[in-house]
Amino acid sequence: MIPSLGNFTLWLSLFFAVFQFFSSRKNKNIKYISLAVIFLFFSSLISFFLLIYSHVISDFSVINVVQNSHTTKPLLYKIAGVWGNHEGSMLLWMLVLTLVNYFIFKLLNKKNSSFILKTLEIQAFIIIGFLLFTIFTSNPFLRVFPAQLEGLGFNPILQDPALAIHPPLLYIGYVGFSAAFSMSVATLILNNKKNIFWYNYMKPFVIGAWTFLTIGIALGSVWAYYELGWGGWWFWDPVENASFMPWLIGTALLHSLIIVEKRKSLQAWVLLLAILAFLLSVIGTFLVRSGILTSVHTFALDPSRGIYILIFTALLGGYSLILFGVKSRKFFDNNYFSSFSKEGSILINNIFMTVVCATVFLGTIYPLLVEAFTNNKISVGEPYYNSTVIPIMIPAIIVMGIGPILSWGKEDKLKILKKIIPSVLITLIMTIAIFLFYKSYSILGFAGIILSFWIISNNVLNIIRKNKAYSMSMFIAHLGVGLLILGITGSSVWQDEKIVKMKVKNEIKIKNYNIIFDQIVEIKGINYIAVRGNFLVRDDEKKIITKLKPENRFYPITNIFTSEASIHSNLFRDLYIVLGEGNMANGWVVRIYYNPLVIWIWIGSLLIFLGGIVSLNTNLKKLLKW
Amino acid sequence: MVKQILIIPSIFFLIIVSIFFYLLIIDRNPSEIPSNLINKTIPFFETESLFKNKKFISSEEFGNEIVLVNFFATWCKPCRDEHGYIKKFQSKEKLRIIGINYKDDPEKANAWLKDLGNPYSDVPLDKNGRIAIDWGVYGIPETFVISSDGIIKYRHVGPITKKIYKKINLLIATLKLKK
Amino acid sequence: MINKIFVTLVSFLFFFNLLNISYAVEPNEIMKNKDHEIRARNISKNVRCMICQNQSIDESNAPLAKDLRVLIRNEIKKGKSDDEIYFFLTERYGDFILLKPPLKLNTLALWFLPFVFLVVGVLILFFYNKKYRKV
């Protein structure tokens, strides 16, 4: 009964979405529209909860539950498992889409009604598209009779808190950009005849989407680092790239919205970015779910689904981009910028973000292009992106150091020089200090450290000075970026690794630590048995600073082996141990990693997120006042 | 001039979408890699044979007629699943099949073939996997079609299915015609 | 005593595990010559594990990955250069096995377009710059 009710609510949502589409387009009756918006949200909320309910009670007459759940799964992961699969994740996608829809509606007032109604019309179209996709190709409420006795969904690797919350945060990001898309298309269609400040309405949505996309991506990386067993956290996998591209365009969009706000300039460019951000989210969805390429992240591969999403993407993108081609001329202005100004530096940032995005896009789809035109398959992996993206990012980051403190309009070069002298000094001092400590020199390390301390010192000084002329949220977020670069540089350039065979009571030295293999024990977990190695870590003063306990687990019910790394983190480095194969007689393979500065990647990401939240708060207040 | 530039994003987008369409419509396996040895002579190898006392020397065994080469192992479940088709190639289509035993125990291979039936005219042993590497094998079972002049014409990765069985038979028919 | 049996049993089970766990390079693969080992690691990092999803053979514990790691080290011992080793691998597995796409006719666009994008971007910057507009 419940699953049928769930299916019914999907159709109900479709009905309300169509209703919203026609009321915003034709009769423009606010009462009808508000009914449509609110019922649409609640209907999609109920679908979502009904699916969760089916998973929680382990209703194995529902195919989605059979494929993705298991009676022994802890409650938290039964729930998280709902959005960990393709069909269930579409319900989450719909929920966020209808929530964003509601927030757009809340902006409606007499003055902006034509603009907001047009936006709601386009948003309704998007919702209809995804609902049709869900109902006809990815319906989570499909049944199987007779009901199965047990489910198949038990991958312990996926039962992790970071992984549980990673999709919802990402979706707030991807779907949040839909509001910017709809507003951009609405503005282009209406030619902004009523002179609406569409960019003021767009900004909070962009900040919200971008902020959550940032933390969503960061959580995915955190999980990879702790779970996958060799300290990697970014692999340029096509699906990771699919999240990185909207983030890059979102960053450009975020910054250029500031210019549009203050100077009314670059409107056409921002309208294009707003279209591209969401379009890239949708193309990303297509790449992941269509079966066109394989990746660790791809959901069950099904070309018929792919064709549907592609048609929808083609309609959405084709229409919006052709509209842009035809209508955007009216939004051009004749303002030009001096390079040494805030506008100039933001424009530089935009150019670099877009170039990196284009490069990542090229790398991601290039294998598909080669396959389509020749009969060959090539692969584009990490080395390609390292060679192209990093050199392009470097000038962008340099500009990020001074850009924020430049004034609008031309800046006196001498004044700028005076402003930056303290941070230049700090940068030099910290760079020398780090190199004395790690004693290993590399060009990339050099570049990374200089850049990160350049950003860190500029922003810390501004925070300390309580520089009221600029927004605190910007300093926090930029500081976060500086720390992020510090962490990335440290962990990439100065990583040390020891791979050895150790018998119990053997010792090994890594950097200034002594690692002693104390003993091997058996562990019985809730649903697994494991072999655990107890390792003592001593520093050069012979003090035991920690015990590391990597495990190799076996889950009997599903025949899965996992390896759990043991990590000790502090501000300077992570010590990371993985237990390999072995036995009492010959000893065990032990891998020890010394990963410097890793924690700053996570702290930096968190600060970027906090900066975004503060900015979101500020911008929402501005909007409400208005 | 500006008008033309502004329409570029949409053209670019539509071209890419068309390419995606093409890739979705055609019959392709996104995870299968095409062999780099197609239309090249088979890599030479010399190794023990499971059944015969003398060594298996590839230059002597190929180049006379159309041959199928099937990389298999007893520990590989899909190999067991497809074995029926391999036997069918031999019994129905009267094809000569060489079964290269990959990283396996010869005694186990013997027992396996006794148990399931032996369609192979010979079973060279690839104990350390080096022959497989020379053939560009990455996921057994893999099946190759070798023309009568010792050229690799086709490679399939994974177990033989009904569709692939038909495809290989069609290919062999065309090869026979060309002669 | 029971502990020992248990531990032996579980580690025995692990020996046959071919699943997700990445152990990668094993102690007995490591070459005695440090420079050779560094070369081996660098080459391995550029070689794709053909049966994994987006991993190099340096990171993967798949049997084929191990075989290729050992093969690469043997070729280095034989005195082969990096290029010769890459050629050996691409002869058998095609260009797909390289994570860094080689510069060929079919990858010209891949390697040059980012530079083109950058140049176009910088040109746009000049286009928008006050000083140059005045001229």
**Digit-coded pLDDT (tens) for A467-477:** 776 788 999 99
Where does chain B show beta strands of DSSP type E? 46-47, 56-57, 67-72, 96-102, 125-126, 142-146, 152-157
Please tell me the predicted confidence (pLDDT) of residue A73: 86
Of the candidates C50, C68, C92, the beta carbon closest to that of B134 is on C92
Torsion angle in degrees (nearest 10) through CA of C85, C86, C92, C95: 180
CB C125 within 8 A of CB A339: yes
Of the candidates B8, B17, B30, the beta carbon closest to that of A314 is on B17
In A, minimum Cα distance to B23 occurs at A372
| Distance, CA of A423 to CA of A405 (rounded, Å) | 12
Edge-to-edge strands of the sheet including B142-146? Answer: B125-126, B96-102, B67-72, B142-146, B152-157
Of the candidates B9, B16, B23, the beta carbon closest to that of A371 is on B23
Tokens found for residue B118: 């032996």
Q: Which one-letter amino acid corresponds to residue A146?
A: P
Tokens 């690469």 found at: C72
Contacts of C39 (CB under 8 A, 6+ apart): C76, C82
Of the candidates A388, A500, A521, the beta carbon closest to that of C114 is on A388
Helix (H) or strand (E) holding B99: strand B96-102
| Distance, CA of A25 to CA of A30 (rounded, Å) | 11
- Give the number of B-C residue pairs with CB atoms closer than 8 Å: 34
Query: Distance (Å) from the C-alpha of residue A329 to the closest C-alpha of chain B?
Result: 7
Query: Distance (Å) from the C-alpha of residue A377 to the closest C-alpha of chain B?
Result: 7
Please tell me the predicted confidence (pLDDT) of residue A41: 97
In A, minimum Cα distance to C97 occurs at A379
CA A145 from centre of chain: 39
- ω into B141 cis (within 30 of 0): yes
Tens of pLDDT, residues A46-56: 999 999 999 99
Query: Distance (Å) from the C-alpha of residue B133 to the closest C-alpha of chain A?
Result: 18
Residues of chain B with pLDDT under 50: none
Interface residue of A321, A326, A366 to substitute, partner B, most B CBs within 10 Å: A321
* 3-class SS of residue A534: strand
Look at residues A395, A404, A442, A445 and name the one whose alpha carbon lies nearest to residue A423. Answer: A404
In C, minimum Cα distance to B134 occurs at C92
Helix (H) or strand (E) holding A501: strand A496-502
In A, minimum Cα distance to C127 occurs at A336
* 3-class SS of residue A591: strand
Please tell me the predicted confidence (pLDDT) of residue B36: 94
Strand partners, B122: B98
| Distance, CA of A450 to CA of A389 (rounded, Å) | 18
* 3-class SS of residue A533: strand
Tokens 């994994």 found at: C52
Q: Which residues of B touch C (CB under 8 A)?
A: 33-37, 43, 103, 128-130, 133-136, 138-139
ipTM confidence score: 0.90
Contact residues on chain A for C17, CB-CB shorter than 8 A:
561
CA A272 from centre of chain: 21
Q: Which residues of C touch B (CB under 8 A)?
A: 50-51, 63-64, 67-68, 71, 90-94, 96
> Any idea what DSSP says for residue B75?
T
| Distance, CA of A337 to CA of A347 (rounded, Å) | 9
Contact C10 A529 (CB under 8 A): yes
Look at residues A41, A25, A40 and name the one whose alpha carbon lies nearest to residue A116. Answer: A25
CB A407 within 8 A of CB A340: no
Contact A272 B9 (CB under 8 A): yes
| Distance, CA of A292 to CA of A298 (rounded, Å) | 10
Determine contact: C110 vs chain A, CB below 8 A: yes
Tokens found for residue A579: 């237990």
Q: What stretches of B42-161 show up as alpha helix (H) in DSSP?
A: 58-61, 77-91, 106-116, 130-134
Q: Which chains touch A (3 or more CB pairs under 8 A)?
A: B, C
Q: pLDDT band at residue C15, thresholds of 50, 70 and 90?
A: very low
In B, minimum Cα distance to C50 occurs at B138
CB A238 within 8 A of CB A364: yes
Contact A307 B2 (CB under 8 A): no
| Distance, CA of A562 to CA of C61 (rounded, Å) | 13
Residues of chain A with pLDDT under 70: 229, 296-301, 411, 469, 626
Query: Distance (Å) from the C-alpha of residue C19 to the closest C-alpha of chain A?
Result: 7
Query: Distance (Å) from the C-alpha of residue C93 to the closest C-alpha of chain B?
Result: 5
Determine contact: C112 vs chain A, CB below 8 A: no
Contact residues on chain C for A351, CB-CB shorter than 8 A:
121-122, 124-125
Contact residues on chain C for B36, CB-CB shorter than 8 A:
90-94
CB A248 within 8 A of CB A356: yes
In A, minimum Cα distance to B17 occurs at A314
Interface residue of A296, A319, A322 to substitute, partner B, most B CBs within 10 Å: A322
Contact C23 A229 (CB under 8 A): yes
Tokens 């666009």 found at: C109
Distance between terminal CA atoms of chain B? 60
**Superfamily covering domain B36-178:** Glutaredoxin (3.40.30.10)
Distance between terminal CA atoms of chain A? 48
Contact C68 B133 (CB under 8 A): yes
CB A491 within 8 A of CB A603: no
Distances in whole angstroms, Cα of residue C123 to Cα of each of A70, A358, C133: 57, 16, 12
Contact A531 C98 (CB under 8 A): no
Helix (H) or strand (E) holding A519: strand A513-524
Of the candidates B37, B133, B135, the beta carbon closest to that of C71 is on B133
Contact C50 B138 (CB under 8 A): yes
Of the candidates A355, A366, A500, the beta carbon closest to that of C27 is on A500
Determine contact: C23 vs chain A, CB below 8 A: yes
Contact residues on chain C for A339, CB-CB shorter than 8 A:
125, 129
Please tell me the predicted confidence (pLDDT) of residue A438: 76
Backbone angles phi, psi at C24, to 5 degrees: 65, -145
Helix (H) or strand (E) holding A28: none
Contact residues on chain C for B78, CB-CB shorter than 8 A:
none
Of the candidates B3, B10, B19, the beta carbon closest to that of A372 is on B19
Contact residues on chain C for A366, CB-CB shorter than 8 A:
101, 107, 109-110
Contact A291 B3 (CB under 8 A): no
Tokens found for residue A57: 């009670």
Contact B21 A310 (CB under 8 A): yes
Of the candidates B14, B28, B34, the beta carbon closest to that of A376 is on B34
Distances in whole angstroms, Cα of residue A510 to Cα of each of A438, A498, A575: 13, 7, 10
Please tell me the predicted confidence (pLDDT) of residue C6: 52
CB A562 within 8 A of CB A540: no
Please tell me the predicted confidence (pLDDT) of residue C51: 87
Q: Which chains touch B (3 or more CB pairs under 8 A)?
A: A, C
Length reported for chain B: 179
Tokens 């994974």 found at: B158
Please tell me the predicted confidence (pLDDT) of residue C118: 94
Contact B33 C68 (CB under 8 A): no
Q: With b meaning 16 or more CB within 10 Å and e meaning fewer, what string describes C78-112?
A: eeeeeeebbebbbebbbbbbbbbbeeeebbeebbe
Contact residues on chain A for C21, CB-CB shorter than 8 A:
229, 552, 561-563
Contact C92 B139 (CB under 8 A): no
Contact A377 C96 (CB under 8 A): yes
In C, minimum Cα distance to B129 occurs at C67
Where does A34-92 show beta strands of DSSP type E? none
Give the count of beta carbons closer than 10 Å to the beta carbon of residue C133: 13
Distances in whole angstroms, Cα of residue A218 to Cα of each of A172, A225, A256: 14, 11, 24
| Distance, CA of A385 to CA of C101 (rounded, Å) | 11
Length reported for chain A: 626
| Distance, CA of B33 to CA of A546 (rounded, Å) | 47
CB C24 within 8 A of CB C56: no
Determine contact: C16 vs chain A, CB below 8 A: no
Please tell me the predicted confidence (pLDDT) of residue C108: 95
State how beta strands A513-524 and A566-569 pair. Answer: unpaired
Contact C96 B33 (CB under 8 A): yes
Contact residues on chain A for B14, CB-CB shorter than 8 A:
314, 318
Helix (H) or strand (E) holding B153: strand B152-157
| Distance, CA of C31 to CA of A25 (rounded, Å) | 71
CA B75 from centre of chain: 18
Strand partners, A497: A593
